[in-house]
Chains A and B, each alone.
Chain A
Amino acid sequence: MHAFTDALVITKRQLLQLARVPEVLIFSTIQPVMFVLLFRYVFGGSIETGQPGGYVQLLMPGIFVQTTAFTLAATASGLAEDMQKGLIDRFRSLPIARSALVFGRTLGDGLLNILVLAVMGLAGYLVGWRPTSGILKISLAFLFLLAFGYALSWVGIFAGLAARDARVVQNVSFLVTFPMTFLSNAFAPTTGMPKPLQYVAEWNPVSTMVAACRQLFGVENKFGATAGSFPSENPLTMSLIYMVIILVIFVPLSVRKYTNKVTK
């Protein structure tokens, strides 16, 4: 079976694209770095955290999760664009495993995330972010983030296949992921939200991810919602459950949709 090596060829294609058009890489890292700086200096001063090391310790896990959540839009629009250009037809007429293209793309977007997270981590460090939990837990946190981004990129695959236009799918993906990342404990305490929204925020996968990362980076999750609920007590477990749910639903669904895709 060539399924795996075929997928790697597709992944390599994405990396080559970055090498040929480095602007894409530059801009996809500038945006999160800009968020780090904006939140750190615009909100950081006015949000009282009582956190040793300041707001940035709570902020960084939030921004990491937000950025990985945006993988969804990147994957979706990349795939939709390939379809629009007829490239998917070419791939589908080749004697390759049908899953290779989608697996290859999720892998490529995952690799891009490594780079983006590294640049953000560095930017965070420069503005005072100091995780205290030791190298093992810090690495684990990043692995967790990559896994989250990977799971979401399968949602992106599905969205990209369902979409008819690359620009539309990019906008729609942001319309979903943007409020999702703000309706959470990522940037501010959820306790200030209206009660119903607090529940949403509490069970929001973004919140559980952020809480899990804070835990792994050695920061108390001060923006968490009601103590005693399952997601706030077990953010790591809950995040893992979410990822598994997403993958179990969207991997088969996307592969099937891709295989059956009837592009007119």
Chain B
Amino acid sequence: MKSIVAQDLLKTYNKGSIRALDRLSLDVEEGTVLGVLGPNGAGKTTTVRILATLLTPDSGSATVAGIDVIKHPDKVREVIGLSGQYAAVDETLTGWDNLVMFGRLYHLGKAASIKRAEELLERFSLTESARRPIKTYSGGMRRRLDLAASLIVKPKVLFLDEPTTGLDPRGRLEMWGVIEELVKDGVTLLLTTQYLDEADQLADDIAVIDHGKVIARGTSDQLKREVGGERLEVVVEQAHVAQTMAIVAKISGTKASFDEGLRKISAPVTTGAGALIEVLRALDGAGIHPLDVALKRPSLDDVFMALTGHVAEVEEVPTDSKKKRKGGNR
């Protein structure tokens, strides 16, 4: 069963001159994780906002957990959790205050709200900082609390909009761990990210979007295969280049290419690690000592490059969210 279905979503700004979404369609199978991957301004956040009932599309339709987001937004809100790009919690209040407040807003009783808040604080290792105002939290703690707030009533569908943008490497790893735990519980997750490794790590399925459209869809492996399989790369001394190129070409079955600057000989292979063993044997037999040998699988960066013709623009912290955070402090 599909938990999320979006069809031909169109959203324009400035009287149609800016197309945030250009008839975007996607769907997510129940209990799976879809990574929506794209650079800044590709339409990721707009997609999430429409699916989470915060925005109405100009045209197109969408259902979440089988409920129409345009016709019955109230019912959708009862089954979703949303955690945004920057921590949307009350920074002057403590973690405990925030979670209890959100519990009350989900209409849990007072006692149940407190119980749930304490469970979530425990689960996200925030119990010790529960009584401190959020503004004293680290970026990673803030995100965890924000995520906890979206899990007050166990949502059927969870939207995480760039959950690790702006976090330091340690914070990202912690967040990944937390998200992986969640997924084990069977929630359907739509996750947007501009980090290719993040989609690779967390998502079952990836939708690459650019200019408001899905330009590729598949598992990480499928996408990589689409761009081309593995490549064998060998670096040798200048004197052995010609001979090595012949060896590599023979193993690959096609002509090897040579990168003069890096003195790197490379060719596509289909036999995986077997090719690596073969080339080492052949080189050894010819008395050549390679400086470096590698079997390189294409990264999602390569996928992105091949699909869009431009490199994914990864910024540590998008300037607008930085501004927002700064502007918020009194």
A interface list, Cβ under 8 A from B: 2, 5-6, 9, 12-13, 16-17, 20-21, 81, 84-87, 89-96, 165-167, 262-264
Residues 42-59 of chain B, each 1 if its beta carbon lies under 8 Å from chain A, else 0 = 000000010011110000
Bound state CA distance, A167 and B329, in angstroms?
Answer: 10
* Complex contact A17–B92 (CB within 8 A): yes
Bound state CA distance, A174 and B58, in angstroms?
Answer: 37
CB of B32 within 8 Å of the partner chain: no
* Complex contact B105–A6 (CB within 8 A): yes
Contacts of A264 in B (CB 8 A): 13
7 contacts between A and B (CB under 8 A): A5-B104, A16-B101, A21-B133, A86-B86, A89-B88, A90-B82, A93-B54
CB distance from B252 to the nearest CB of A (A): 49
* Complex contact B328–A81 (CB within 8 A): yes
Quick one: which of A96, A262, A263 contacts B105, CB cutoff 8 A? A96
Bound state CA distance, A173 and B53, in angstroms?
Answer: 31
CB distance from B291 to the nearest CB of A (A): 51
Which of B72-80, B166-174, B189-197, B206-214 lies on the face that meets chain A?
A: B72-80
Quick one: which of B80, B85, B89 contacts A93, CB cutoff 8 A? B80
Closest A-B pairs by Cβ, 4 of them? A86-B88, A90-B88, A95-B77, A93-B82
CB distance from A258 to the nearest CB of B (A): 12
Q: A13-B101, A81-B328, A86-B324 are in contact. Are A95 and B90 (CB under 8 A)?
A: no
Contacts of A17 in B (CB 8 A): 90, 92-93
Q: Chain A residue with minimal CB distance to B74?
A: A95
* Complex contact A166–B327 (CB within 8 A): yes
Contacts of B91 in A (CB 8 A): 85
Q: A13-B90, A90-B88 are in contact. Are A20 and B53 (CB under 8 A)?
A: no
* Complex contact B328–A90 (CB within 8 A): no
Quick one: which of A9, A20, A85, A92 contacts B104, CB cutoff 8 A? A9
Q: A9-B105, A13-B101 are in contact. Are A85 and B325 (CB under 8 A)?
A: yes
Q: A93-B54, A262-B55, A264-B13 are in contact. Are A85 and B93 (CB under 8 A)?
A: no
Q: Chain B residue with minimal CB distance to A90?
A: B88
Contacts of B82 in A (CB 8 A): 89-90, 93
CB distance from A262 to the nearest CB of B (A): 6
* Complex contact B93–A16 (CB within 8 A): yes
Bound state CA distance, A175 and B52, in angstroms?
Answer: 37
Contacts of B324 in A (CB 8 A): 84-86
Which of A95, A262, A263, A264 has the most chain B CB within a 10 Å cutoff? A95
Contacts of A87 in B (CB 8 A): 88-90
